[in-house]
Structure 1
């Protein structure tokens, strides 16, 4: 059962991170998109955020099961660090994407600023996801 949980954990990590890379070229196209095209790009952003959120639920659940079955302790530096970054990323994700996407759907005067905020949020969130991935793979002894 443990190898299957590792597989599920790995796939859920890929599903949590991978779709965000599709959004990078979409950001450039979103700058000039209007009407239906803009709505479809924003729908794609919203879908990726929701997909990542739900894959994250599987990721956390499988990670907790792996900790329990593998006899890992909460005091392991890489586990404590991963959970600290995870909780920070949850707060960040809740405030970074959905409110900005909602504002972009409305007729706004400062669309460029909202797109910069969305872009900055995307790159920052990818960085945070890679920090968590690094912690899980490398298992560094931080203290």
Structure 2
């Protein structure tokens, strides 16, 4: 499993990619990097790219703690936090369905799910060429 992120300051966007087998701890691995990165700040829109997931095992209680930490780190006090999961396959859609239910517990989170590139482009309102470069090759 690999987890990585990139901040696109000009687009006010935090892009997170998960690949392979997802376990809850991978998010714990990223949190310290987010906290130290001066470009990770409240108000960033967030895209979680689940395209490359093979399977997932989620510890529900640990995930709730992570969600609270992410919301505290990224939600701007004056605005809802836009969080978009990109999940174009059945594995990622199944994981996202669970995440969607869990995010409902948090106020101020504008949760979206895109199952196609066109839906992602519509939600983010970013140029197709930028989005294709951000997502990278289809592997």
TM-score normalised to structure 1 length: 0.26
Greater C-alpha radius of gyration: 1
For CA contacts below 8 A with separation 6 or more, give which structure has more relative contact order: 1
- Larger strand share, 1 or 2: 2
- Larger helix share, 1 or 2: 1
